[in-house]
Amino acid sequence: MPSLPAPNTSGVYQIRCIPTGKIYVGSAVSLRDRWYRHRKSLSGGTHKNRYLQSAWDKYGEQSFELEILEYVDVSHLLLAEQEWIDSTSCTDRTIGFNLYNIAGSPGQSLAQTWEGFIDP
């Protein structure tokens, strides 16, 4: 976990499980709010990603860190996230936790559409 809170800006991030090195890649309009929501649902055992939740349960919160991969304007978030998903192979179970190889959490019914894009 970072000692300082994530910045309140848009960008692409990854959550790394330090013991395994596995990553989860995502993007957010507010990196700070998204990191808070991830930690809250993981700590409560209700995260939608069962692989990330299982690792969190096994290793504990102190074994995870947020890394900002790229600060991106909101209008380019999904494009940048897709590039990171593709380049990191984070949907490969030996590498990462991502469930979908398409940016924007297409399997989540709670994804919101804002001005032509889906905010994960």
- Pairing relationship of beta strands 64-71 and 11-17 according to DSSP bridges: antiparallel
pLDDT at 33 over 90: yes
- Tens of pLDDT, residue by residue over 95-108, are 999 999 999 866 54
pLDDT of 112 reads 41
| Mean pLDDT of the region 19-34 | 97
pLDDT of 72-90, one tens digit each?
Answer: 999 999 999 999 999 999 9
Closest CA to 61 of 41, 31, 84, 32: 41
Residue 83 and residue 25: Cα distance in Å, rounded?
10
- So where are the chain's domains? 11-119
Q: Are 30 and 8 in contact (CB under 8 A)?
A: yes
Q: What is the dihedral of CA 43, 57, 65, 10, to 10 degrees?
A: -50
Helix (H) or strand (E) holding 64: strand 64-71
Confidence category of residue 6, pLDDT binned at 50, 70, 90: confident
CATH fold, domain 11-119, is GIY-YIG endonuclease (3.40.1440)
